Structure 1
Amino acid sequence: MRILAITLLGLSSLLLMACDPAEKTLLQQIKNSGELRVVTRNSPTTYYEAADGFSGFEHDLVQEFASKLGVQPVFILKDNEEEILSALESGAAHMAAAGLSRSKELEKRVEFSSSYQKVNQLLVYRIGTTPPKTMKGIAGRHIEVPAHSRYARTLTALKTRYPELEWTESPDRDTEELLNVVSDGLLEFTVTDSHIYKLNRRHFPALRSAFAIQKSERLAWAFPLYTDGSLKLAARDFIKSIKRNGRLKELLDRHFGAALKSDAVNLSVFHLRIQNRLPKYQSLFQKSAERYNMDWRLLAAISYQESFWNPRSVSPTGVRGIMMLTRTTAREMDVANRLDPEQAIEGGARYINKLMDQIPLEIKEPDRIWFALAAYNVGMGHLKDAQIITQQQKGNPGKWNDVQQRLPLLSRRVYYKKTKHGYARGREPVRYVTRIRNYYEALKKVDEEEREEEQNKAINLRAPAI
């Protein structure tokens, strides 16, 4: 009865809007008002506040859709799927962008756009736990999932085939929190989507996946039933266009691409070194990064990839120091002593800034920095060779996602014999950039958590005693 009442209320309000003779369609009304009301949830994969503004895959996707419509998005945050659906049914939101899966059950309550991402529901555990190989092996194991979630519905459906299956539904903890609990060894298993798992492994490197508990699903935006369909059609056309021009692939790569290749062992060591090495050099990274208008966390991530923050690091090829500078680069950047962390970090930042200046202005961030880092690793000449091959193969030479696919071709004779700069170990810059992206994202996460903790302490100190 509650759902019926909400549906009727939402239906009446939306029909009144759609029937206004001065505004023929819901889409036109949204354009006239200048606002697109979007319900979502606060999570790393959808919408969250970072140090430099709001982010998240769904946030960025909606921003581009709203820009195409010529309106501003207004985000409405809800805690779970049921609240999100209710916001649509009540007319509080025009659409939902919250990682919802298209399903027959949900299609009784909402309409969906075309899909923009395919995912699997994975059974996730901590390394060291003996995982089951099939659903039959889960009997008697402790599984917890968020209440009112797709995962709970999936487990309910599976219980008809596996009667021994048991689980707990948490009303208070979302997917990311449960992954944290599993990572800490306080819970045996949870269930999450494959893209959420991959993203969170950057922060919880002890996580592992056992298997997918059902067939793959497709994520899509959701819209209220009984509207005129004009907004849904606009969304369909938008998603179709960004699939065709490659923009969707770029957004997926930006938010989830680097996470696909996370190295759990390296990340585990990295988190330890954040505590016992980074504090010695953080002020140097901040000083040099500010001078060259860089993010100090990115500069620190580059340094970690180069030397693991070891100022006395030396390679067999003669590069050395915390930034692993060559003699030529050190001389060019006026670095007298490569083993001096302050000189080396300053020289490395200056050199990266120089490479950035060589990247054409039409290449925008974040691709611009990935190109500069690839050039830092393999050389600007080889990078340009890969861009030429990319253009010859009808890719976009100004997009990192396209060029990184062609860089490995520089090690194949059929390609490098035709390039200006010849052979290169083209896979190395791809791995190099991917690892730095992983380290960079992890550093941002740690830095933001520390800032939040400091703010909370400051608030507590100002709070009057009771």
Structure 2
Amino acid sequence: MRVSTIDSPLTYSVINGKKYGLDYELAQQFANYLGVKLKVTVRQNISQLFDDLDNGNADLLAAGLVYDSARVKNYQPGPMYYSVSQQLVYRVGQYRPRSLATVNENQLTIAPGHVVVNDLQRLKETKFPDLSWKVDDKKGSTTLLEEVISGKLDYTIADSVAISLFQRVHPELAVALDVTDEQPVTWFSRLDDDNTLSAALLDFFNSINEDGSLARIEEKYLGHGDDFDYVDTRSFLRAVDNVLPELEPLFKKYAKEIDWRLLAAISYQESHWDPLATSPTGVRGLMMLTKNTAQSLGLTDRTDAEQSISGGARYLEDMMAKVPETVPEDERIWFALAAYNMGYAHMLDARSLTVKTKGNPDSWTDVKQRLPLLSQKPYYSKLTYGYARGHEAYAYVENIRKYQISLVGYLQEKEKQEAEAMKLAQDYPAVSPEELNKAPFPFLSFLSQSSGYLTHSPSLLFTPQKKEEK
């Protein structure tokens, strides 16, 4: 089965050789359902995706595409599985447009094939006659978002989910206004006379809806929430640059059952990576362990970074081991974190309450919705272990997930920049600062003055440039 998609954090990406993405995982499951092999082709923009269908180079488009009346005239839509709105974005610190009335093509650039072009055309005809925009045939939405972040471009339009993920790594990206209401997302295939593929796709989505696997995948990629906090995210990324490097070896050393970046995110939520952190209730250290927990783990100094991280990791492993085996593997960590925060017994109460209110106790989506009820008397009075600050456990897990998304994306981007710098270093051998300003190196001279990442490569002899504070 040939599937065309776009490289983005939500749809499809490759990290350390492993493939991720909501649409990728669904496509792989669909291929397994059909008993065929999956072949993925990555395209730069939406226009190229539909070219693949037109030219017979793809069977399906799985790329977070919006259902649109114009598209369904020529292509077969599949089941709709989540929704997004289209939003106009700008860079923090720059002018924020409050309306599309004054936006023009010198400011707004759209990716080719983007569904919002139809919406903009309708708005121009009915409300904003002076509205204009430019379509860049060579760039996709991801590239245009990056250009807004860098200040190269004033505005672009992208879907709300993609923007929220970008903001976890680039908090300077801000939403100016909503261009559309919520729109359903679907896959597309060629118009099929016998409906073979579309019928199979409908059966597949019905089955994963019924067994809960669709909800689990959506929780994994869409469950991080949309309550973006600019100040908090920016502070976290500063700490990643300034504090994390010293602690990173310890997180890698003791994160045995989970990804080290998740362990680091847990520690940041607990203490903001302050080894001396102390709460009013007496918990201390990077992992904010109680005195009793530390003693049970054989720790002698909760403020010692290595002891705290090793103890916290072991305690979390104990919680994960206790999570009922009926909970799917990829969701066990969230149940364990809730138990880590409010106690294992109260996590069991949350599962029990989920059953009583006709939810699935093995679904994190269902259980987390009941957590705030643990502090409400009509509910906790009927539970085995009584009152708990379930709303805090809910926020605790959600915050950790957001920090993890930010950390993974930020480190991945740094690796990409370092790889680009290394390639430039190989293409253009190191020269002295004096030679940079002499012929025949005008291109290198320009790069050394304008490119932030070039001067970060230790193999180059460029004079370091001071990065502007964001």
Q: TM-score band (shorter)?
A: 0.7 to 0.9
Q: 416-425 or 391-400: which moved more?
A: 391-400
Q: Which amino acid aligns with 1:202?
A: R
Aligned to 2:186: 220
Query: Does the Cα contact within 8 Å between 2:79 and 2:186 map onto a contact in 1?
Result: yes
1:50 paired with 2:15, answer yes
1:64 paired with 2:29, answer yes
Aligned to 1:165: 131
1:380 paired with 2:366, answer no
Aligned to 2:97: 132
Q: Whole-Å Cα distance in 2 between the matches of residues 465 and 207 of structure 1?
A: 35
Aligned to 1:276: 242
Aligned to 1:326: 290
Aligned to 2:433: none
Aligned to 2:274: 310
Query: Does the Cα contact within 8 Å between 1:45 and 1:56 map onto a contact in 2?
Result: yes
Which consecutive residues of structure 1, in runs of 5 or more, have no partner in the other structure? 1-35
Query: 1:330 deviation in Å?
Result: 0.6
1:297 paired with 2:270, answer no
Q: 409-418 or 212-221: which moved more?
A: 212-221
Query: 1:243 deviation in Å?
Result: 3.3
Aligned to 1:342: 306
What percent of counterpart residues are identical?
Answer: 38
Aligned to 1:73: 38
Q: What secondary structure does 1:372 align onto?
A: helix
Q: What secondary structure does 1:219 align onto?
A: strand
Q: Whole-Å Cα distance in 2 between the matches of residues 422 and 104 of structure 1?
A: 52
Q: 428-437 or 225-234: which moved more?
A: 225-234
Q: Which string of whole-angstrom CA distances, capped at 9 and with x for unpartnered residues, describes residues 190-245 of structure 1?
A: 11111112222211223332332234322211111244211101111222333344
Which consecutive residues of structure 2, in runs of 5 or more, have no partner in the other structure? 431-470
1:367 paired with 2:316, answer no
Q: Which amino acid aligns with 1:431?
A: A
1:429 paired with 2:393, answer yes
Q: 447-456 or 262-271: which moved more?
A: 447-456
Aligned to 1:6: none
Query: Does the Cα contact within 8 Å between 1:121 and 1:214 map onto a contact in 2?
Result: yes
Q: Whole-Å Cα distance in 2 between the matches of residues 110 and 149 of structure 1?
A: 15
Query: Does the Cα contact within 8 Å between 2:46 and 2:140 map onto a contact in 1?
Result: no
Q: Whole-Å Cα distance in 2 between the matches of residues 131 and 447 of structure 1?
A: 29
Query: Does the Cα contact within 8 Å between 1:100 and 1:221 map onto a contact in 2?
Result: yes
Query: Does the Cα contact within 8 Å between 1:201 and 1:259 map onto a contact in 2?
Result: no
CA gap 1:139/1:450 in 2 versus in 1, 3 angstroms:
closer
CA gap 1:295/1:458 in 2 versus in 1, 3 angstroms:
same
Aligned to 1:41: 6
Query: Does the Cα contact within 8 Å between 2:62 and 2:187 map onto a contact in 1?
Result: yes
> Number of residues paired by the alignment?
429
CA gap 1:465/1:206 in 2 versus in 1, 3 angstroms:
closer
CA gap 1:141/1:76 in 2 versus in 1, 3 angstroms:
closer
Q: Whole-Å Cα distance in 1 between the matches of residues 91 and 209 of structure 2?
A: 35
Query: 1:119 deviation in Å?
Result: 1.6
Query: Does the Cα contact within 8 Å between 1:180 and 1:204 map onto a contact in 2?
Result: no
Q: Which string of whole-angstrom CA distances, capped at 9 and with x for unpartnered residues, describes residues 9-29 of structure 1?
A: xxxxxxxxxxxxxxxxxxxxx
CA gap 1:182/1:452 in 2 versus in 1, 3 angstroms:
closer
Query: 1:465 deviation in Å?
Result: 6.6
TM-score for both structures, normalised by structure 2: 0.86
Query: 1:65 deviation in Å?
Result: 1.5
1:110 paired with 2:64, answer no
Aligned to 1:253: 219
CA gap 1:52/1:385 in 2 versus in 1, 3 angstroms:
farther
Aligned to 1:192: 158
CA RMSD of superposed structures (Å): 2.2
Query: 1:122 deviation in Å?
Result: 1.1
Aligned to 2:319: 355
Q: Whole-Å Cα distance in 2 between the matches of residues 192 and 459 of structure 1?
A: 30
Q: Which amino acid aligns with 2:44?
A: D
Aligned to 1:15: none
1:263 paired with 2:229, answer yes
